[in-house]
Structure 1
């Protein structure tokens, strides 16, 4: 059971889990005024020296002699967008084995990349289809565009954005089927227009004056045209663009592409703009790269040597590699600009910074809420956790059956009912059922019910995906009868004060008069007035 109170829990070397109150919202500790928690079983002294409302964690693996999982650290940057990203990746880790940058994904696995990449085949059909394609175009990179086929296939369009002039937003140039058209961006944002002499329409979805990717989403960091970009959507009914054979620039077999942006891979193939890094047992690193511009390729990659990804002008460099590593997180207070730009991201937990002193050595470590960290003390390590205070329940619950009644002729639930077995630490048990507005009490004796020393179990919710689960609410309210009696007395008192006043007998007596000498009259002073 969770209690609305923060607590620092220490799994000490003597096997005892010790809890210390840690509520610091209004009076946080500081390195100059720490909160002393006393000595641990190992002789080390424990203190809380700081508190932060938001703590962020970054993966920082530690090397091992043997075992663990492979880990690499990479940097990826683009001069066109003036962005630099870096991260650690660990194999066999669902949380830290992938890195998403919006337009592409990077993944780390064990083993080696395939030596002969499978060719991507596609057959062109002469039948017309409903086509829809979204394309990013950049003013500073007229030969680069990033497309995504939403429906049917590729339109084969080539989109360019002219640089803005005279404080306008530039013009979009469309080359489609040997015909060229241009549209003013400022006048046509959000409008769907016909592309002359073609079966297609064009819609300018958005424009960014200073394009950047923040948290996987496109945006503009200023109103100045430092890096203009535009997103357009082309729709129409036509034959998908034919596929021609082109030489793979990364080496290897022949790879197909279209005259415009490459089409999406067939169902079952890897997603476009995807990089898989492989670490072999001997530490050799290889890759399998899929780019919508350049196709599919594979090969070996060396430390500190850039790999051209084919995703616009992004280049990747691996600067650190560990064949055997263990997961380690570095926690630090979140910066204000980091939290302000992370819209839509999950809320960061709060945390405390602890200080451990033993044998003249001092160690400080942040502990975020919900995490358990290891503190290197002698002779053995000490486990420290921070979070809500937990209390064991004196009873145990077992779900015996869960029933859902449906409304006739539909799948909507009319009600649900849980059959439970309740057990106590004394070995006593009871079976009962609860449903909406019909709770089940344990123990069910009338004395415990009227005094509040009972557990009232009510149906709270249910899981439509799993009828073997049920959510119940447990209420224990000793002294509830006294609160109701007090409320009843207040109501009776208000009734008597307002409605029984005319019927109360009043005491008759002489009227109260003032006694004592009267105050003397003041003589009015006359002052001569000059005329």
Structure 2
């Protein structure tokens, strides 16, 4: 009689006689699993340091998105599958083991699917603007124009992964051409400057001025071009302007200085509501505050000038005395009522106790010239010279002529100007330069690039900031090169209807961010309004099924502009592997539970 083979004997027999099963047992071995897990643990730890020391893009390029990392994950999945297959035929006590391995495989599959098909980005929305249909991703790209056909080509290019340097440039061949794009520099922060460039094709002259003022030793450089709608005028803040015109105008400054004469009744208990009466001219802009620091102290009067400066005086020192303020204003405290009351419609004092003090202040003076200072220039009567007219608060304008390299006074107090250069034919060009380290304002990343011909000659190099493009030339080719972040199209559009920032009571601190948006699907002729705020994102398509399956797009509040409440920035998250990740996690929990609570019962010993 044939004795039935035990399960262990069957497994040993197929492993001995079948090459396929030998491969399955080799791939599902515990030694291979430990090797893969230890390697992945070390690599992920190194990737954490890469991400903290450099950026998430560097860690993604060298580790998480690299081919060898994907191969390692594939081997781990294969090891899990083969490890479960070596137990075939499965018995009841294998359920936890198999379910746990299946959960890990499903979880890894969801992670790979989410990385391949999902994305995380941002979208800027403005009220009244065209609905957005694209999301900005943190994936730098180069857009290159073919010199032969003019067709545009786009390729991933992350300068942080392998930073180009002059001694280690990166080369990219241009499509349909033997010309190379050479990228030999990168900066994480750039600035834009306007420069005057000689241009024989331009019919207009141009100039460069340098202004030195009382606010620092760093000169302010301004280029101007004649007969240009945008480049013939420049402003130095709100207090001065410079303009290049064909001919000088006549001085338009008023011959007389505006004056004022007014009275103010100042109430100690209501200083924000003075009773002002202008007897002549315009309001003075002066403010007064009456009071005392302690109940036992004598009364004081604070004088606040229009420019924000001021002093505090004892009321007794000013009463019935005319003070000549350094601003040119005469100030007289003409009356004082310790306890102001009205008697027959006239102010009077009910006793000498300062229970409701008030004063009457009389002012007379000249107002500062509110018109901004102006410098106007025009071509001079002699070639190579400029005529200028400088106007300020002074009644006498500054006039004269100047040559390149000469310094002159624009007629503004504390200011001087220098004519740096004068070109007969010129245009203004905006160029990108690396920002100085420790600059006050962050700038955009930029690449330094040039074109190189097959004979080794290179064209002019220039910096290209993120989000911009520039035309590069060589001896035999020209191509427009663009650098920026990748745009991901959405299958729908999103529109901002309103944006509100509630504040904490009594403060200017934001308490919440509320945005009203509208999703629109043109194919389905569908519009769905939605509301989102902090910790309460909006999803589209709506409903439980798209969210559970990971087919929805989640929008969360990400940024705002305190100066413009008609715009906001939303974070966009799309993860089609969401369902697999959660399913895999639940399977792992179920498998581990089974291994602990569904153990194999005690086996009976065979009879001897």
**Do the aligned residues in 1 keep the contact of 2:556 with 2:572 (CA within 8 Å)?**
yes
**Counterpart residue number, 1:289:** 390
Q: Describe the SS at the equivalent of 2:259.
A: coil
**Do the aligned residues in 2 keep the contact of 1:430 with 1:442 (CA within 8 Å)?**
no
User: Offset at 1:375?
Assistant: 0.9
Deviates most, 84-93 or 24-33: 84-93
**Do the aligned residues in 1 keep the contact of 2:498 with 2:566 (CA within 8 Å)?**
no
User: Offset at 1:71?
Assistant: 3.1
**Counterpart residue number, 2:369:** 265
**Counterpart residue number, 1:55:** 190
Deviates most, 350-359 or 109-118: 109-118
Q: Describe the SS at the equivalent of 2:262.
A: coil
**2:234 is matched with which residue: 68, 79, 98?**
98
User: Offset at 1:73?
Assistant: 0.5
**Counterpart residue number, 2:129:** none
Q: 1:190 to 1:302 in 2, by over 3 A?
A: closer
Q: 1:332 to 1:508 in 2, by over 3 A?
A: same
1:64-119 Cα shifts (integer Å, max 9, x gaps): 3455765320123469976644332346465894253x795342343433224342
**Do the aligned residues in 1 keep the contact of 2:189 with 2:443 (CA within 8 Å)?**
yes
Is the helix fraction higher in 1 or 2? 2
1:38 aligns with 2:173: yes
**Counterpart residue number, 2:419:** 318
**Do the aligned residues in 1 keep the contact of 2:212 with 2:416 (CA within 8 Å)?**
yes
**Do the aligned residues in 1 keep the contact of 2:390 with 2:412 (CA within 8 Å)?**
no
1:240 aligns with 2:364: yes
Is the strand fraction higher in 1 or 2? 1
**Do the aligned residues in 1 keep the contact of 2:457 with 2:474 (CA within 8 Å)?**
no
* Distance in structure 1 (CA, Å) of the matches to 2:431 and 2:564: 37
**Counterpart residue number, 2:521:** 422
Q: Which has the higher contact order (CA 8 A, sep 6+)?
A: 2
1:331 aligns with 2:463: no
User: Offset at 1:380?
Assistant: 5.5
User: Offset at 1:369?
Assistant: 1.8
1:292-326 Cα shifts (integer Å, max 9, x gaps): 3x345264533234322343443212232345533
Q: 1:112 to 1:298 in 2, by over 3 A?
A: farther
User: Offset at 1:482?
Assistant: 0.9
1:479 aligns with 2:577: yes
Any gaps of 5 or more consecutive residues in structure 2?
Answer: 1-134, 267-282, 288-308, 327-359, 503-510
User: Offset at 1:10?
Assistant: 1.4
**Counterpart residue number, 2:478:** 381
* Distance in structure 2 (CA, Å) of the matches to 1:330 and 1:463: 27
1:159-193 Cα shifts (integer Å, max 9, x gaps): xxxxxxxxxxxxxxxxxxxxxxxxxxxxxx99845
**Counterpart residue number, 2:136:** 2
* Distance in structure 1 (CA, Å) of the matches to 2:175 and 2:400: 51
Q: Describe the SS at the equivalent of 1:241.
A: strand
**Do the aligned residues in 1 keep the contact of 2:253 with 2:391 (CA within 8 Å)?**
no
**Do the aligned residues in 1 keep the contact of 2:209 with 2:222 (CA within 8 Å)?**
yes
1:475-502 Cα shifts (integer Å, max 9, x gaps): 53212211121232344456668xx66x
**Counterpart residue number, 2:375:** 275
1:204-260 Cα shifts (integer Å, max 9, x gaps): xxxxxxxxxxxxxxxxxxxxxxxxxxxxxxxx9542335xxxxxxxxxxxxxxxxxx
Q: 1:78 to 1:444 in 2, by over 3 A?
A: closer
User: Offset at 1:48?
Assistant: 1.3
**Do the aligned residues in 2 keep the contact of 1:60 with 1:327 (CA within 8 Å)?**
yes
**Counterpart residue number, 1:206:** none
**Do the aligned residues in 1 keep the contact of 2:398 with 2:409 (CA within 8 Å)?**
no
* Distance in structure 1 (CA, Å) of the matches to 2:499 and 2:215: 58
Q: Describe the SS at the equivalent of 1:390.
A: strand
Q: 1:403 to 1:39 in 2, by over 3 A?
A: closer
